[in-house]
A and B are shown apart, each in its own frame.
Chain A
Amino acid sequence: MSDLAIETHALSKNFGTLVALDRVNIHVERGSIYGFLGRNGAGKTTAIRIMAGLSQASGGGARVLGFQAGRDSIAILERTGFVIDKVLLPYMTGRQLLRFNKGFFPAWSDAQAKRYAEALEIPMDRKFKKLSHGNKTKLCLLLALAQNPELLILDEPTAGLDPVVTDQLLRVLVEDFANDGRTILMSSHHLSEVEKIADWVGILDHGRLLLEARLDDIRASYRRIRVTGERLPSTSPEILTASASDGVTEYVLCAGEEKFTADLRNNGATILEVLPMNLSEIFVELVGKENHHVPVEAMA
């Protein structure tokens, strides 16, 4: 059995002339929480829909829990909880949706469904269409969790939710699901939330995977460095961005901070400060500079 819960090979998807995914290679380790990051329209949902068998790849392929997406959809869907559009059958109450869903999944747990309904405070006797946005999302998550999947794939689960509901959802995901050694892939552009729970991140922009790495490695590798001096380098493999203002040059490095600063000092430069970067800052630097695509191998 592969150590990867999800693996894509040169996954591509075109909508006419629009390239939604451009040879994307994702690797999600079993037991990990993978933050799948990108701006709106980056291609995250398209990739997830291909994994779910809702959409067909134009090129390449995806394997989910060892099964080929599209070809082995039933095997994938039996083992994976998908939350994609967060729209269920609008005329059914939460309780009816549980009954509806139960028959499809052999590992379904009524006890878990009841527990999550209580923990997430979902009004189960109200029709889905009458629920608030937050409760709709929570009910979608409840259905996915109660089917006892090996893998959860969530598309923007916290979009539009207030901080309290977001916290409730993340707590359930981490404490009840991921702590059992099961895998989560969660797409989002709410970086602070992902940073709280993810141990791997993949950053997608304009259909291309800009970065895939362990979150700890990213935090350890990325540095913002402010320098003064003359004849400073503007390009090198470790420089993500370089900008100068008022005699101070600011670098964002994706790796090799110690060697880079040592080389600068040897050239007579003065290092003003070396700052760690959080995920949001790294994301903005990566995505904000469309031409600065970092080789994935650099972080792997």
Chain B
Amino acid sequence: MYLLKQWRESRIISTLAALALILLLLLVLKGSVAIDTFHSHGNNDNQGFAFIFVPIFYVEAALVAFWGWLAGGIGAGKNLGEDSGSFLFTRPRRRAWFLWSDWGYAMAQIAAIILLMNIMIGFLIAHALVLMHSPGVVQLTTQGQPVPLTFIMFTISVGVLLFAGLIYGLSYFSTILIKRTSGVMLAAGILVAYLILLGILHHYYPAFHTPGLIMNVFNFDQHSMYGLSGNLAYNFAARTVAMLAFPAAAQLILDHSEI
């Protein structure tokens, strides 16, 4: 029942995501052929290959977070803006039920997009690793132990999921806050303001540590990769709390709103 509404509301952006995934699939197939050609020229640099994970992570994070930002404009906040809130909220369910259904549906879509993207990208890398005679493992640094590809892809997936979930939650929260779809613009404003604030703090108080919008899954500088970040579990836990804070705050507002 409610799934029907969610699908009807999100089908345009879901179709966009599906098209993007198809495009990625085509690129993966093309890339697979390119890797075969590359390998036939005798290149076996596993460690250099590791640097590909950094752009993968940031590009994925940006794309999926953009999708999450758009998806935040859909759901109960949109209904409030269209004046259909009194219809929706006179269906016999708690307001929180509608909110967490919206959130669950969007997060399931975000997770599915990330999963499919990383399966395709992982397939491409796995193919290259087989050709380099190190199937399933990647030498991230010269000194460290090889890291299983599945673990790297899992780490990237969780990192991207938490970032996209944070952006989606902020966007959804903003639409509930101002009771209309244009709340997504408020969310964009909040993000820009946060980035400016980070820049100012970093400039005037370099020692003051402020959490970035996106977690650093990999330690690296311009020239070297230092492997996966330490305290991944702690980072994941803290960012999960941050991600859940926005829908929780949206629930608080919605529960006390006059519809």
Contact = CB atoms under 8 A, between A and B. Distances in A.
Interface string B160-198: 000000000000000000000000000000000000000
A74 B2 CA distance: 17
A93 to B, nearest CB: 10
B41 interface: no
Consensus secondary structure, chain B interface? loop
A98 B79 CA distance: 18
B4 interface: yes
A140 B85 CA distance: 14
B258 A99 contact: no
Contacts of B85: 54, 85
Interface stretch (A102-110, A184-192, A259-267): A102-110
B83 interface: yes
Given A55-B259, A56-B258, A96-B8, A104 B86 contact: no
Interface in B97-115: none
Given A87-B82, A87-B84, A99-B1, A78 B92 contact: yes
Interface residues of A, number: 29
Contact of A77 (B1, B91, B259): B91
Most central of B4, B85, B87, B88 by chain A CB within 10 Å: B87
A184 B253 CA distance: 32
A74 B82 CA distance: 23
Q: For the side of the interface on B, what is the size category?
A: 20 to 34
B257 to A, nearest CB: 9
B26 to A, nearest CB: 31
Given A49-B259, A55-B258, A88 B94 contact: no
Contacts of A103: 1-2
B9 A90 contact: no
Contacts of A200: none
A82 interface: yes
B19 to A, nearest CB: 21
Contacts of B92: 73-75, 77-78, 104-105
Contacts of B82: 87, 89-90
B93 interface: yes
Interface in A160-183: none
Contacts of B79: 89
A92 interface: yes
A54 B259 contact: yes
Contacts of A105: 92
Given A74-B92, A104-B92, A88 B87 contact: yes
A89 B87 contact: yes
Contact of B258 (A54, A74, A78, A96): A54
Contacts of A88: 84, 87
A140 B84 CA distance: 11
B202 interface: no
B1 A91 contact: no
Contacts of B9: 91
B94 A74 contact: yes
A87 B83 contact: yes
A54 B93 contact: no
A101 interface: yes
A3 to B, nearest CB: 24
Given A74-B93, A88-B84, 11 more contacts: A52-B89, A82-B86, A84-B87, A84-B90, A88-B87, A91-B8, A91-B9, A92-B5, A92-B8, A100-B2, A105-B92
20 contacts: A54-B85, A54-B86, A54-B258, A56-B258, A73-B92, A74-B92, A77-B90, A78-B92, A82-B86, A84-B86, A84-B87, A85-B86, A88-B84, A91-B8, A99-B1, A99-B4, A100-B2, A100-B4, A100-B5, A104-B93
Task: Give the top 5 A-B pairs by smallest Cβ distance, nearest first.
Answer: A103-B1, A77-B92, A54-B259, A78-B92, A87-B83
Interface of B: 1-2, 4-5, 8-9, 79, 82-94, 258-259
Interface of A: 49, 52-56, 73-75, 77-78, 82, 84-85, 87-92, 96, 99-105, 140
